A and B are shown apart, each in its own frame.
Chain A
Amino acid sequence: MEVVLAARGITKRFPGVLALDRVDLEVPGGEIHAVLGQNGAGKTTLMNVLFGLVQPDEGALFLHGRRVEFRSPHDALTHGIGMVHQTRRLVAAHTVLENIVLGHPRVRGVLSLRDARVEVAALCRRYGVGLDLGARVWQLSEGERQWVEILKALYRGARVLILDEPTSVLTPPEAAALLAGLQAMVRGEGVTALLVTHKLPTVMSACDRVTVLRAGRVVGRLRTAEATEDLLVRYMVGRDVAPGPAGPSGAPGRRVLEVEDLACLGDRGVAALRGVSFALREGEILGIAGVAGNGQEELAQVLAGLRPATAGRVRLDGRDITRLPPVARWALGVGYIPAERTEVASIGAFSLVDNTALTYHFDPAYVRRGLLDDAGLARLTRRIIDGFDVKVPHPYARARQLSGGNLQKMILGRVLSRAPRVLIAHLPTQGLDVEATAFVRAQLREAAAGGAAVVLISEDLDEIVALGDWVAPIYEGRFVAWLGREQADPETVGAMMAGRRREWAAAR
């Protein structure tokens, strides 16, 4: 098969980061070619280079074997390369047709929508896309919007389509439909597609070949027919990732956390938590499973002291902490990892050292005569960076420069560095890639093994079931049940999360 698009020796540096390191890529025509890699591997940067959005520092591009230079997306488009970006760029108030036609080089001055409609309708028929061209974009589902983007590229004459994580915002059926459509287009019409993803099943089921990037380098180049998911994970991560559940997390010890009939209001002043009781011992992990908005976030906030309880009691090591402010709880050993990493758990404009101070500014060990011990905080930050394998040029980098996974590791490391007695983790692995997810889960387990009581709040059933010694499905502000590890199979828990109450098992 002829190589349609090739990149040779592409290097791109950003301040402090080598985003692409002598990357070679060959894309044979008439195939779906996957570019696989973890967050921050350089996938988007490479695609931006191919589309002329980013100029490489070194290296060259070849189209049908001829050297080309793209100074802008316009150049790429005139050479038949189109891109569907990771972030949507449609005008929500315009119709599908207007969005497709908008910005087309041919559309200057007078816009002949009637001619355009005929052409676009023909394109739709040819590629088997069922879209109402008169519909407004805001009325469309994410899947349909994705098709608008693709049609927009095709209408401009693209024969090579670059899709950056096209399925990340789609529901599973929408994603499947998109991939099927793409396959039909490639097989039937000779279009070539470059598909960026970090999802293994997508690669295995929809793509012909895959190039794996890790930390800006190409580490694997293979046909999917000859690959396995395990092999791809090894390429992506650079080593084996520990599989799911281990045994129970150590022998439980003393009671650490006791919660009695706890209730609170939500932001809108209606009851969000309606009487929750439980007790956790040292070394135990409680998995609270629930669909967002059933009181789990409020529970985490009440435990952390960020939301007042309207009724009930919270005891830490026997001491009543129901009315204590957050700062006193940090000092006593309540650690909280909120779901909002960038809005609550970190300050983007602050350096990592200043972010570390977020949970140390009150700690006598790091404050001398009213002044923060900068050197001590910098040492602590370095320890967290090294211990949690955070990829960052130096401890004084701004938090907002970190990718999601690295930021979460930093937050986790900071909270664990206080050696909390109780660790509350809300959606700790949401949006993280395989490796970071495995890492965070291992750390939670290790915290429990070290004697902490862990409250894990998640929407991911597999995670809950894999980690929890106890599982409590939460629904409308109450625990539906209290299940031991053996009783907590995903079907039962899933049904309970949806509000279907089973008999209480192993209540205590």
Chain B
Amino acid sequence: MGCGPVRLGRHELTLEPRQAPPAGYTVLTAVAAIVAALALASVLFLSADASPAAAYRAIFSYAFLNPHGLAATVHRSIYLLFCTYAFLVPLRAGLWNIGLPGQVYAGGLAAFAVPLLLWREPPGAPAPAVVIALMIAAAAAAGAAAGGIAGVLRARFQVNEILVTMMLNSILFWVVAYMVKEGGPFMGATAEGESFTLPAPLRAPLWWGVPFTAAAALGAAALLDLLFARAALGYRIRAFGESPAAARYGGVNPAATSLLVFLLGGAFAGLAGYHNFAAIPGVYKIPGNYGYYGDLGFYGMISALIARGSALGAVPIAFLFGGLSLGARFAQGALRLPFGVDYALLGLLMMTFIGSHVLQAFRVVWRRRAAAAPEAVVGGLPGA
């Protein structure tokens, strides 16, 4: 029957579930959502006495045409993609990984701990490839460990994963702060409140100017979609996500599944941390504003939700989010727009995407209302 009707005089407006959204409709609604968000954002620009056309030109040309901007967009969307997977895997099991920032920090710290412990200057230096491989492994393992804490508490003691992951976020935020502060073990040589810069041989290899993590992110998307579409393990995770009781009946181990998805999700967040701090050209350190990247990770969560759990589907969404967040930040400086337009734009986009989902799943029906339409049903009655 859909949601409760909105009554307007003798008419009513209801949302009725669609039987099956027609193919192609999905893409169409996504495009419509983007256009609507941009249209709404013009109000923002107008209120700042800027021409929306100029603002959009600045945003898009920086994000997707300017060589520097485009490179930054690619780097950022890889980061967002790993964050997307970190949220998406537990989501398929019906669990919410709100611990992205903490797991990202854990991954970044672990990645930098490896050279701190192993790296020597050239005479007697270990093979850089080995150290890089260890950095990646350490980042994934640390992210997995941070995620695993939530997973274990969930699996063993039914502790709510949202609370645990949020607590871990702030703990790990302060751990990073302690590590990179003056006198902390990760302190940078020159600047305060930043980590040391990665020695040149340990920087992630670039392929055609793009760090190899791009290939890893796209490969992971394909693998994840295959996992959930075809694999027995993916089936168990999906079944558990849809109905824990039915999955358990069918022999799925609830504790193992909860733990596994948090380990896997955490590992992806750890890789996001590795990518963001140790693989992006021109960065190669944990910067002072690392908290900004932690927060940005939540856009991974939103892309996972918008893509409805499809990793490949999230690729264009993460790319768009990455580009717009950078483009808007750029336009903000270039056109002297008010502070925060980048977040406002992303926020609008998120809202229109969610709105488009509602329209995709439901049909808006406008009809003359029956005066004697049945009154509201109150739940809890036997037989109701």
Is B374's CB under 8 angstroms from A89's CB?
A: yes
Q: Is the CB of B383 within 8 A of A357?
A: no
Name the CB-closest residue of B to A102: B375
Is A90 engaged at the interface, CB distance under 8 Å to the other chain?
A: yes
B246 close to A103 (CB less than 8 A):
no
**Which A residues from 59 to 89 make CB contacts under 8 A with B?**
71-75, 77, 85, 87-89
**Taking A88-B384, A91-B375, A370-B231 as contacts, is the C-beta distance between A326 and B249 under 8 angstroms?**
yes
Cβ of B67 under 8 Å from chain A: no
Given contacts A349-B242, A358-B239, contact A372 B232 (CB under 8 A): yes
A371 within 8 A of partner (CB): yes
* Chain B residues closer than 8 Å to A156, beta-carbon distance: 372
Contact B375 A73 (CB under 8 A): no
**Which residues on the B side are within 8 Å of A372 (C-beta)?**
230-232, 235
Looking at the assembled complex, report how far the CB atom of B150 sits from the nearest CB atom of chain A, in whole angstroms.
Answer: 24
B190 close to chain A: CB less than 8 A: no
CB <8 Å contact, A74 and B376: no
Query: Given A74-B372, A103-B373: A350 and B239 within 8 A (CB)?
Result: yes
A347 CB, nearest partner CB in chain B, Å: 5
- Which residue on B lies nearest to A105, using beta carbons? B371
Number of interface residues of A (CB under 8 A): 55
Stretch at the interface among A118-126, A222-230, A337-345: A337-345
Chain B interface secondary structure, helix, strand, loop or mixed? loop
B243 touches A343 (CB 8 A): yes
B380 interface residue, CB < 8 Å from A? yes
Q: How many A-B residue pairs have CB under 8 A?
A: 124
Given A102-B375, A327-B251: A72 in contact with B370 (beta carbons within 8 A): yes
Shortest beta-carbon distance, A334 to chain B, in Å?
Answer: 10
A354 at interface, CB cutoff 8 A: yes
0 or 1 for each of B329-351: is its CB under 8 Å from A? (1 = yes)? 00000000000000000000000
For the complex, give the distance between the alpha carbons of A325 and B232 in Å.
18
Bound-state Cα–Cα, A90 to B250, Å? 39
For A357, the chain B residues whose CB sits under 8 A away are 235, 239
Does A502 touch B at the CB level, under 8 Å? no
Report chain B residues within 8 Å CB of A103: 372-375
Residues in chain A near residue B381, CB distance under 8 A? 88, 90, 92, 138, 145
Known A-B contacts A15-B19, A89-B377, A102-B375; the reply to A330 vs B251 at CB < 8 A is yes
Residues of chain A with a CB closer than 8 A to B384's CB: 87-89
Which chain A residues lie closer than 8 Å to B375 at the CB level? Answer: 89, 91, 99, 102-103
B378 at the interface (CB under 8 A from A): yes
A318-366 CB contacts (< 8 Å) to partner B: 325-327, 330, 336, 338, 340, 343-350, 354, 357-359, 361-362
B14 at the A interface (CB under 8 A): no
Contact A325 to B383, CB < 8 A, known contacts A91-B378, A358-B246, A361-B236: no
Contact with B along A270-291 (1 / 0, CB 8 A): 0000000000000000000000
Task: Name the interface residues of B242-262: CB closer than 8 Å to any CB of A.
Answer: 242-243, 245-253
A346 to B383, CA, bound (A): 22
Cβ contact within 8 Å between B378 and A87: no
Q: Whole-angstrom distance between the alpha carbons of A90 and B251 in the complex?
A: 41
Q: B191 interface residue, CB < 8 Å from A? A: no
Task: Tell which of B232, B378, B382 has the most Cβ of chain A within 10 Å.
Answer: B232
Q: Is B35 located at the chain interface by the 8 A CB criterion?
A: no
Given known contacts A92-B381, A359-B251, A371-B230, A344 and B245 CB-to-CB distance under 8 angstroms: yes
Distance between Cα atoms of A361 and B246 in the complex (Å): 13
- Fill in one digit per residue for A3-42: 1 if any B CB lies within 8 Å of its CB, else 0: 0000000000001000000000000000000000000000
- When each residue 298-310 of chain B gets 1 if its CB lies under 8 Å from chain A and 0 otherwise, what string results? 0000000000000
Which residues between 205 and 264 of chain B lie within 8 Å of chain A, taking CB atoms? 230-233, 235-236, 239, 242-243, 245-253
- Tell me whether B372 and A105 are in contact (CB under 8 A): yes
A346→B233 CA distance, assembly (Å): 18
Residues in chain A near residue B232, CB distance under 8 A: 361-362, 367, 370-372
Contact A73 B378 (CB under 8 A): no
Q: Which residues in window 27-85 of B have CB below 8 A to A?
A: none
**20 pairs across A/B with beta carbons < 8 Å?**
A89-B375, A90-B381, A92-B380, A102-B375, A103-B373, A103-B375, A156-B372, A168-B383, A306-B249, A326-B250, A340-B245, A344-B243, A344-B245, A345-B249, A347-B239, A350-B239, A358-B246, A359-B250, A370-B231, A372-B235
- B interface residues (Cβ-Cβ under 8 A, vs A): 19, 230-233, 235-236, 239, 242-243, 245-253, 368-378, 380-384
Q: A92-B381, A344-B249, A370-B233 are in contact. List 9 more A-B contacts (CB 8 A).
A: A15-B19, A75-B370, A89-B384, A90-B381, A92-B378, A343-B243, A361-B251, A372-B230, A374-B230
Q: What residues make up the interface of A, taking CB atoms closer than 8 Å to B?
A: 15, 52, 71-75, 77, 85, 87-93, 99, 102-105, 138, 142, 145, 156, 168-169, 304, 306, 325-327, 330, 336, 338, 340, 343-350, 354, 357-359, 361-362, 367, 370-372, 374
